[in-house]
Amino acid sequence: MEDAALVERARDGDAAAFGELVLRYRELAGRVAQIVAPGADIDDVVQEALLKAWYAFPRFHAGAPFRPWLCKIVANEAKNRARSARRRDALALRVAAASEDAVPSPEAAALARDEAEALVEAMNQLHSDDRLVIAYRWLLDLRESEMAEALDIPPGTVKSRLSRAMTKLRTQLAVTDGGEP
């Protein structure tokens, strides 16, 4: 069943339909929470956000896309939790363990890993707002219209917000490398 149909049923109080939406979007919700509040209890953040989404359904516009609406709720909940997170040095992103697949040489593998770790370290150093807008576009594949909804900003502002965040990422990469920003 498509999201729109599940959303309609959930809006009418069908908890089972909402359960299906939870199943479909729990991974995305967890990733958004991780990006915004890495030091918080992610499972707790996601569960609380999902409950808030359930109780907010009466205000959800029929026909509107569910994914960015949920992202907005999760991100807001994560921000609230980030303020009181116990682990302030937790990392938002981590490079996965090295794979044995398809890298042409040890040197290429080492270079690829170096770049990946540098990129992830730079992302982790960004303010969570900048990290989130970059992640929405390049890690979570949200479209521009979805980003506008998820960030609660006008569509025309998405581009400049993203580009400014990318500029800060580049600056952070230079700092990470020990150079001048």
Partner 1 sequence: MSTERLTQLDDRALGAALHELDLAWPTPPDMVDSVLVAIKLGPVPRPRRSPRVRFVLVAAAAILALALAASAARLIIDLGAVRIEPIPSTSVSLPPSTVPIARLGEAVSLAEARAAVDFAVDVPPALGEPDRVWLVKGTTSFEPPEEGLIVALAWRPRLGLPRIAGTPYGATLLIFQGETDVAVKLIGAPIHQIAGQLAYWVSAPHELDLLVGGHVRTFRVTGNVVLWKDGPLVLRLETSLPRAVAIAIAFG
Q: Does 119 bind partner 1 (CB under 8 A)?
A: yes
Q: Helix 15-36 to helix 66-82 angle, to the nearest 10 degrees?
A: 50
Q: Does 145 bind partner 1 (CB under 8 A)?
A: no
Q: Which stretch binds partner 1 (CB under 8 A): 1-9, 64-72, 75-83, 90-98?
A: 90-98
Q: Does 42 bind partner 1 (CB under 8 A)?
A: yes
Shortest spacing between CB 139 and partner 1, in angstroms: 6
Per-residue burial over 111-136, b if 16 or more Cβ lie within 10 Å, else e, is eeeeeeeebeebbbbbebebbbbbbb
Number of Cβ atoms within 10 Å of the Cβ of 15 = 11
# chain residues binding partner 1, by CB under 8 A: 56
Distance between CA atoms of residues 20 and 8, nearest Å: 12
Is the backbone of residue 63 left (phi > 0), alpha (psi -120 to 50) or beta?
Answer: left
Binder of partner 1 out of 6, 78, 82, 169 (CB under 8 A)? 169
Distance between CA atoms of residues 110 and 103, nearest Å: 10
Q: Does 94 bind partner 1 (CB under 8 A)?
A: yes
Binder of partner 1 out of 43, 87, 145, 152 (CB under 8 A)? 43
Q: Does 87 bind partner 1 (CB under 8 A)?
A: no
Q: Is 62 exposed, middle or buried (0-12, 13-18, 19+ CB in 10 A)?
A: exposed
Binding site for partner 1 (CB under 8 A): 15-16, 18-19, 22-23, 26-27, 30-31, 34, 42-43, 46-47, 50-51, 54-55, 93-97, 99, 111, 114-116, 118-120, 122-123, 134, 137-139, 144, 154, 156-160, 162-164, 166-167, 169-170, 173-174, 176-177
